[in-house]
Structure 1
Amino acid sequence: MNEKKDDALGVLLQQYLETEKDVTDKQRRVLEAAVEVFSEKGFAAASTSEIAQKAGVAEGTVFKHYKTKKGLLFSILSPTILKLGAPILIRDFEKVLEAEYQHFGDFLRALIEDRLEYATKNTAAVKILVNEVSFHPELREMLKEVFNERVLPRLQKAIKHFQEKGELAKLPDSTIIRLIISTTVGYAAARLIMLPDNDWNDEEEIEMMIEFLLKGLRP
């Protein structure tokens, strides 16, 4: 697998392909090609013929393994989303959420840096997810399940801790979580999807996000 494909696939899909024993070489090539095409053109504009050509297989091979184009999309995104909830792939993020921090700013810095690093390593899969989640209720439900079961309780615990320390305003935890997510995701979207060619300074941007959130959420 060349360096370009490694970047396009992202760590999650690459690990999935390497560990799934039932994935044939042709399936692997189809999935790799589909990630690139879906990422570049979006699901609606992508064609199975183009995916097959990029994968170096006949178009019939695509339909042999994935009955529909939507089935191919879910073969890419399902492991990506579900493995976010698997211990082996959210281990580092769980460490971020479970670690003890002296101040709320330290917690924010660790959280933002971790999620930005994840999105940077998996840009192609993230782009597909952002493009398609609005059109596929199944994807939204999968995301909600992972977030509600594995992430939300830990965020709520951290928020309560810093509120009790007097570092956070007594706002509903849902409001605080929404503000943190919208700030972080907004930067990641601009950084990786909308304006990827800009000369970004992640360290400076992260510090400005933290300052913005600290001032807005101060008691």
Structure 2
Amino acid sequence: MTDEKEQWLVDLLRRLEDDDGKKTEKQIRIIEAAVEVFSEKGFAAASTSEIAQRAGVAEGTIFRHYKTKKDLLLSIAGPVAAKLFAPFLMRDFARLLELPYDRVEDFLRAILRDRLEFARKNMKLIKILVHEVPFQPELLAQVKELFTHIVVTRVEKAVKHFQAQGALKEIPPWRVIRSTVSQFVGMIVFHVFLAPDFPFDEEEEIERTVDILLHGIAGRPS
């Protein structure tokens, strides 16, 4: 446990306080410890006894605030999806999408840089979502709602703009979004989660990823 709270924890606590009021120091330690244990081990392998040990509280203290281990998970992961990610997308990411871009390459570079930085700052919280969304129907429903009504709606507008300019093929916007998300998530997952120590030039990697997205991987015939 660190004395100085990481930014992800500050943001999460702020949003939890908006719903339930200010947290006690013990509750804050429980939340921080739960995020660490859930992100490291996943929900199934995590134990409330380990969370309590890391938080420096009795296990019974956890159950005074949360009826079950799943309630503790949902109290964290729900706001992560609905309170932390959604406002970020609505405010910062939405503003990014509204900026004028002369070329589609500039638009894609801006998104990739932004999402790469976001993933690095929120690694523990993202790990919890990746681990648990497929197995927790409540979280899956929140993420679907978030992606459909915030991300897709706003990105679709940009896709149609560049299609009208002739910079993108006239194909269904959802297909463009699917391909873009696949490329970008693949790069971010590899460099942030799977191989964080793998040496690479970030700007060059962004350029190559955008190039592959727009032009494919096939070589020119001789």
CA contact (8 A) 1:133 1:139 kept: yes
Higher RCO by CA contacts (8 Å cutoff, separation 6 or greater): 1
The TM-score with structure 2 as length reference comes to: 0.89
Secondary structure of the structure 1 residue equivalent to 2:198: coil
Structure 2 equivalent of residue 162 of structure 1? 162
Contact 1:10 1:124 in 2 (8 A): no
What's 1:22 paired with?
22
For the structure 1 residues 27 and 11, does the alpha-carbon distance in structure 2 shift closer, same or farther, using more than 3 Å as the test? closer
2:65 aligns with: 65
- Equivalents in 2 of 1:195, 1:147: separation in Å? 26
Structure 1 residue aligned with 2:86: 85
Q: Which amino acid aligns with 2:185?
A: V
User: Do the aligned partners of residues 89 and 60 (structure 1) sit closer, same or farther apart at CA in structure 2, a change above 3 Å counting?
Assistant: farther
- Pairwise CA distance, 1:11: 5.7
Establish whether residue 187 from structure 1 lines up as the match of residue 187 from structure 2. yes
User: Is 1:103 aligned to residue 103 of structure 2?
Assistant: yes
Mapping of 1:193-204 within 5 angstroms? 193-204=193-204
Q: Percent identity?
A: 51
- CA offset at residue 142 of structure 1? 0.2
Distance (Å, rounded) in 1 between the aligned partners of 2:24 and 2:163 = 52
Q: What one-letter code is carried by the residue in structure 1 that aligns with 2:189? A: A
**In 2, distance between residues paired with 1:89 and 1:159?**
17
The TM-score with structure 1 as length reference comes to: 0.90
Shift of 1:2: 3.0
> What is the CA RMSD across the aligned residues, in angstroms?
2.0
Can you give the 5+ residue segments of structure 2 that lack an aligned partner in the other structure?
Answer: 217-222
Matched residue SS, 2:21: coil
C-alpha distance 18-6 of structure 1, shift in aligned 2 (>3 A): farther
- Taking the aligned partners of 1:97 and 1:174, their CA distance within structure 2 comes to 16
Does structure 2 conserve the Cα–Cα contact (< 8 Å) formed by 1:13 and 1:79? yes
SS of corresponding position for 1:96? helix
CA contact (8 A) 1:10 1:121 kept: no
Which 5+ residue runs of structure 1 have no aligned equivalent?
none
> What are the Cα deviations for residues 86-121 of structure 1, in whole angstroms up to 9, with x where unaligned?
3x6641111111111101111101111111111110
Whole-angstrom distance in 2 between the partners of 1:127 and 1:170:
35
Per the alignment, do residues 37 and 79 of structure 1 end up closer, same or farther by CA in structure 2, a change over 3 Å counting?
A: same
Q: State the Cα distance separating 1:198 from its structure 2 match.
A: 1.7
Residues matched between the structures, number? 214
| Mapping of residues 103-182 of structure 1, within 5 Å | 103-182=103-182
On the 8 A contact 1:163/1:170 being kept in 2, the answer is yes
* Equivalent residue runs for 1:33-44 within 5 Å: 33-44=33-44
Give the CA deviation at 1:17.
5.7
SS in structure 2 at match of 1:81: helix
Kept in 2: contact 1:33–1:51 (CA 8 A): yes
1:46 aligns with 2:38: no
